[in-house]
Amino acid sequence: MRHASTYLPAAEIADSVRRGERAAVEVVEEHLATIAEREPEVHAFNALTDAQARMAAELIDRRVAAGEDPGPLAGVPVALKDNLCTAGVPTTCSSRILEGWLPPYDATVVTRLGLAGAIAIGKTNLDEFAMGSSTENSAFGPTHNPHDASRVPGGSSGGSAAAVAAGFAPLALGSDTGGSIRQPAALCGVVGVKPTYGRVSRYGLIAFASSLDQIGPLAPTVADAALLLEVVAGHDPLDSTSVPEPPPSLVAGLDDGVEGLRVGVVAELMGQGVAPDVRRRVEAAAEALAGAGAKVEETSVAALAYGLSAYYLIAPAEASSNLARYDGVRYGLRVDAPTTATMNVATRTAGFGPEVKRRIMLGTYALSAGYYDAYYGKAQKVRTLVIRDFAAAYESFDLLLSPTSPTTAFPLGAKAADPLSMYLSDVCTIPSNLAGDPAVSVPFGTGDDGLPVGVQILAPALAEATMLRAAAVLEDAMLDQAMARAEATP
């Protein structure tokens, strides 16, 4: 369970540091202590940047002492998924192929965190190149779920989700290509947001599938996730797919409630494959929203039934191209061989794990002459249908509701030998990536096994504010229940 003793909302930490009531150095030391205690069991990090973090914290304290305001995340430790470039700090994507590579530049989100006074505390583990749903596909070993170390934390941002759940950092950034923020958030009992495609700059995010990838926050609370998203969102001239809209105001309206909002429960995401205990939690969430004044109905978004199939053509196709550059010529691993071509093959054979190879093969095939129309071309048509069906649903509803993951955290190794069952973990989260729409996973109680269940709220493009208002309502409902339970227990 979360280390409640060190837990404080990020907003409160930043406020106290900005007021000079608490030293950033002290905040960092507390978190490093928690990490020292539990990291051997959890393995959330590929690398800690403790020395840099201590120095950054001291700098924050000096600035506060000098009367400056270091920003809205002053002194708040943030864990960074290890596919976000950090200048001079190894960035591995949990792959052998990037062995020894030091990025010469910071990702835009890392720069923005620095400008907001946040402190990068370490690089978190992930499924290699973000390909996976359990963080078992890491070249550096799996991450364990802080709620039950025999279980996976989900993936691919499993290290970031586990870091937040274990109290290693109040905030973390992950990336979400088919559910890689939301699914681990659900399995670790934290909030995870996949923003609208283009909301957060991808500059410096090592690409898996460029048209689907999006960086987003993981945090213990909706308010902290909203705060982190406000800091990293906004147009970036270095990312051509970044939306021109100004960063959204999210925290301010968070308590405005859902009175009058129309919420649709997506039938296609509630059926076969969704565990009964998870389904019950989604139904409970629907009731909670209705109780708060929302108009909740079941609805159908027909094309979602084909989302998973389309995703597993589009994402590998883009990945096959994005990962071509790891050829041993310029950086990272090189396995020498007599010719350039054999060196390329030897390097890639040694450097990539089996899941990455599988997806490169799938994607290469899907784009090949003679197969393009039947696979990649058809998948793009399905993607268009998914977008169209979502758009139609959003004519009748402000938000949609579904499970985040069909199950709670599964045991390590349970699905490792069966890629298809692993792929099904993302069936509820993939559609938002295909459509480019935002979605959030918010913890909503536990399953029969006592492990966290996340429910997913989906919204149309750029409607993060409305989406997070609804997430805050669910969070409040859980708090109310917890307090009621506490009062009932003498």
Partner 1 sequence: MSDWETVVGLEVHCELATATKLFCGCRNAFGDEPNTNVCPVCLGLPGSLPVLNRGAVELAVRLGLALGCRVEPSLFHRKNYFYPDMPKDYQVSQYDRPINVDGALELPDGTRVGIERAHLEEDTGKSTHVGGGGRIHEADHSLVDYNRAGVPLVEIVSRPDLRSAEQARAYVNELRAVLLATGASDARMEEGSLRVDANISVRPAGFSTFGTRCEVKNLNSTRSLGRAIDYEARRQIALLEAGEQVAQQTRHWDEADGRTHPLRSKEEAYDYRYFPEPDLVPLAPDDAWLGQVRAGLPPLPAERRRRLAEATGSVPAAVAVVVERGLDDLVLGALAAGGDGRRLVVHAEHDLAGGTGALDPEAFAALSRLEADGALTATQAKAVLAELVAGGGDPAAVAERLGFRALGGDELAGAVDAAIAANPDAWDRYLAGDAKVSGFFVGQVMRATRGQADGKAVTALLAQRAAATPG
Active site residue ranges = 81, 156, 180
CA distance 402 to 225: 20
DSSP 409: P
CB of 363 to partner 1, least distance (A): 9
Q: Is 344 in the site for partner 1 (CB under 8 A)?
A: yes
Applying CB under 8 A, the span of 52-60, 100-108, 147-155, 352-360 interacting with partner 1 comes to 100-108
Q: Is 329 in the site for partner 1 (CB under 8 A)?
A: yes
Beta bridge partners of 48: 122
Tokens of 55: 């120095």
Q: Is 435 in the site for partner 1 (CB under 8 A)?
A: no
User: Footprint of partner 1 on residues 301-320 (CB under 8 A)?
Assistant: 317-318, 320
**Contact yes or no for 156/131 (Cβ under 8 A):** yes
Applying CB under 8 A, the span of 58-66, 141-149, 198-206, 254-262 interacting with partner 1 comes to 198-206
User: Footprint of partner 1 on residues 23-82 (CB under 8 A)?
Assistant: none
Q: Is 341 in the site for partner 1 (CB under 8 A)?
A: yes
Of positions 47, 50, 59, 105, contacts partner 1 by CB under 8 A: 105
Of positions 17, 24, 85, 399, contacts partner 1 by CB under 8 A: 85
Q: Is 381 in the site for partner 1 (CB under 8 A)?
A: no
Q: Is 342 in the site for partner 1 (CB under 8 A)?
A: no
Rounded to 5 degrees, φ, ψ at 121 are -105, -20
Whether residue 156 is preceded by a cis peptide bond, meaning omega within 30 degrees of 0, is yes
**Contact yes or no for 28/53 (Cβ under 8 A):** yes
Of positions 50, 239, 277, 476, contacts partner 1 by CB under 8 A: 239
CA distance 181 to 173: 9
Of positions 5, 240, 272, 489, contacts partner 1 by CB under 8 A: 240
Q: Is 379 in the site for partner 1 (CB under 8 A)?
A: no
* CB half-sphere exposure, 100, CA atoms < 13 A: 9
* CB half-sphere exposure, 380, CA atoms < 13 A: 10
Q: Scan for tokens 């586990």, then name that residue.
A: 162
CB of 376 to partner 1, least distance (A): 6
User: Footprint of partner 1 on residues 358-377 (CB under 8 A)?
Assistant: 364, 367-369, 372, 376
CA distance 479 to 395: 32
CB of 212 to partner 1, least distance (A): 8
3-class secondary structure, 275: coil
By residue count, the chain amounts to 490
CB of 306 to partner 1, least distance (A): 20
Q: Scan for tokens 């979605």, then name that residue.
A: 439
3-class secondary structure, 411: strand
Q: Is 485 in the site for partner 1 (CB under 8 A)?
A: no
CA distance 266 to 368: 35
CA-wise closest residue to 174 among 158, 153, 186, 188? 158
Q: Is 384 in the site for partner 1 (CB under 8 A)?
A: no
Tokens of 16: 């106290």
Q: Is 400 in the site for partner 1 (CB under 8 A)?
A: no
Beta bridge partners of 79: 122, 172
Site size toward partner 1 (CB under 8 A) is 45
CA distance 232 to 229: 5
CA distance 432 to 435: 5
**Contact yes or no for 299/419 (Cβ under 8 A):** no
Whichever of 324 and 484 has its CB closer to partner 1, that residue is 324
Q: Is 237 in the site for partner 1 (CB under 8 A)?
A: yes
DSSP 121: E
Of positions 331, 335, 384, 391, contacts partner 1 by CB under 8 A: 331
CA distance 112 to 89: 17
CB of 303 to partner 1, least distance (A): 20
Of positions 103, 170, 179, 217, contacts partner 1 by CB under 8 A: 103
Applying CB under 8 A, the span of 17-25, 235-243, 254-262, 420-428 interacting with partner 1 comes to 235-243
Q: Is 481 in the site for partner 1 (CB under 8 A)?
A: no
Please report, for residues 305, 378, 433, the alpha-carbon distance to residue 385 in angstroms, rounded to integers and kept in the order given. Answer: 11, 11, 13
Q: Is 490 in the site for partner 1 (CB under 8 A)?
A: no
CB of 331 to partner 1, least distance (A): 7
Of positions 101, 208, 352, 394, contacts partner 1 by CB under 8 A: 101
CA distance 94 to 129: 7
Whichever of 139 and 393 has its CB closer to partner 1, that residue is 139
Applying CB under 8 A, the span of 31-39, 135-143, 291-299, 321-329 interacting with partner 1 comes to 321-329
**Contact yes or no for 469/288 (Cβ under 8 A):** no
CB of 32 to partner 1, least distance (A): 27
CA distance 9 to 225: 10
Applying CB under 8 A, the span of 74-82, 336-344, 437-445, 463-471 interacting with partner 1 comes to 336-344
Q: Is 207 in the site for partner 1 (CB under 8 A)?
A: yes
Residues making contact with partner 1 (CB under 8 A): 83-85, 91, 93, 98, 101, 103-105, 107, 202-207, 209-211, 237-241, 317-318, 320-321, 324-325, 327, 329-331, 339-341, 344, 364, 367-369, 372, 376
